[in-house]
Amino acid sequence: ADPDPLQDICIADLDAKISVNGFPCKPETEVTSDDFFFDLSEEGNLSNAFGRAVTEGNVHEFPGVNTQGISTNRVDLAVGGINPPHLHPRSSESSIVIRGTVLVGIITTDNVFYSKVVTAGMLFLIPRGLVHFQLNVGKENVLFFPSFNSQLPGTQFVHSSLFNTTPPIPNEVLTKTFLVGDEVINAIKAAITSAQ
């Protein structure tokens, strides 16, 4: 089988001298101890419409994970905050909850909905590619650290994928998909666009 892709898009340059899936390596003479460490100790900025902050530790932020098939995020949720439904096309997600009380939901391709309220010390597992969310249902901020079996899991938010693309998806697609009028689609588009 083909190797798993490590990037969203790779348009072939048929004249290139080298081709790689991921990134080339810097020379070993330039490697330092710092290349193997990454700081996720700071809470992210929770002042946004969703009350959530995802600090990513993928290969773009933490070059040390290149070719290792692994990476880790930090997620903070304010009280009532939500990490909206999203999926990772290239990775499963295994996450340890450090603080707070969080409703974790998973939706399968058969549209079965699994969920549980989890607290500090518990792990949750999101199978590769499935839509999932986390909602802070407690009285304090939530903190958890998701790990991925990919250096670049990719994250697609369902709401953004439909209502905040560049350029916009034609309204006709969305009115015919959701079986509602333009005014409903326009209201959702406006709300989501201003929330970014």
Q: Which residues bind ligand GLV (CB under 6 A)?
A: 54, 73, 75, 83, 93, 134, 146, 155
The least distance separating ligand GLV from the CB of residue 95, rounded to whole angstroms, comes to 7
Rama region for 51: left / alpha / beta (φ>0; ψ in -120 to 50; rest): left
Judged by beta carbon, residue 94 or residue 175, the one nearer Mn ion is 94
Query: For the residues of 44-91, what is the DSSP string, one character each?
Result: P---STT-EEEE--STTT-GGGTTTS-EE-EEEE-TT-EEEEEE-TT-
Beta partners for residue 91, in sequence order? none
Among ligand GLV, Mn ion, none, the one that 83 touches (CB under a kind-dependent 5 to 8 A) is: ligand GLV
Which residue is at the shortest CB distance from ligand GLV? 73
Site string for Mn ion, 75-104 (x = CB under 5 A): ------------------x-----------
Judged by beta carbon, residue 100 or residue 174, the one nearer ligand GLV is 100
Q: CB–CB of 102/137 below 8 Å?
A: yes
Rounded to the nearest 5°, which phi and psi values hold at 113? -110, 115
The least distance separating Mn ion from the CB of residue 131, rounded to whole angstroms, comes to 9
Judged by beta carbon, residue 89 or residue 168, the one nearer ligand GLV is 89
The least distance separating ligand GLV from the CB of residue 28, rounded to whole angstroms, comes to 32
Q: Give the Cα separation of 157 and 63 in Å (integer).
A: 24
Binding site for Mn ion (CB under 5 A): 93
